[in-house]
Amino acid sequence: MAPSRHCLFDLDGTLTDPETGIVRSMRHGLSAVGVYDVDHATLRSLIGPPLWDGFTRLGVRDVDAAVAAYRERYADIGMYENEVIPGIPAVLEALVADGWTLAVATSKPAVFAEKIVEHFGLGGFFTYVAGATLDGSRRYKADVIRHALDVLGAPPEATVMVGDRREDVAGAAECQVRTVAVRWGFGQPGEFTAPEVISVVDTPADLLAVLRETARTPSARVADQPSAQANTER
């Protein structure tokens, strides 16, 4: 197997902590269709997968209207109620210096993802920002990853996905791409048990170490990286 030199990064919960802006924008979208009683924990659990699917699971009848209202607030305010995970810029800088080609692969519409990456000073690290389409024609993580691989000309066996949710793992696996899962995002431990997961890491420093190890020994599973700083990087 070829060394891993392409890395796809999920955005929400992996590169940035978007909880405040997304949850507030979800409430705005739901209130627009008369839904007011969803608790914070439930809304937080919906961060990552496509918004249409999350609103559908909540029983929203007019999902299109809720999504439109969400996007109205999110485009104006919500996407900037966000912060870069401490330590992530140093990881990206080190990987680029090591010769990796980096891209974003997110279920968020690309038009928003591109603005977020640029606004928070991360644009210079990424060759491409792959995201969903506003019309939903490219919505699921596997579709986004496949699109990113095509644009980059990246072999799946030489690519690693970094993400914080089950959808990242499953979408990457569908494209024959392995995953490094991060614990500082929105996923739960049970989301990272698939054989395609190389390792589960606690900190950006651990992430860098694992990615460098995959470049040296691309076919091996790397041990999970426990850390006394678990969940403190957000």
- Please say if 10 is a catalytic residue: yes
Q: What are the CA-CA distances from residue 8 to residues 26, 138, 228, 232 (Å)?
A: 26, 17, 26, 23
Contact between 102 and 7 under an 8 Å Cβ cutoff? The reply is yes
* Tokens standing for residue 123: 């644009």
Who contacts 85 (Cβ-Cβ below 8 Å, separation ≥6)?
Answer: 14, 15, 16, 17, 184, 204, 233, 234
DSSP state letters, 181-234: EETTSS--GGGG-STTEEEEESSHHHHHHHHHHHHHSTTSPPPPB--TTTT---
Give me the catalytic one of 10, 17, 143, 202.
10
Please answer whether residues 156 and 174 qualify as being in contact, where contact means their C-beta atoms are separated by less than 8 angstroms.
no
SS3 at position 149? helix
204 and 86 in contact (C-beta within 8 Å)? yes
Q: Catalytic site residues?
A: 10
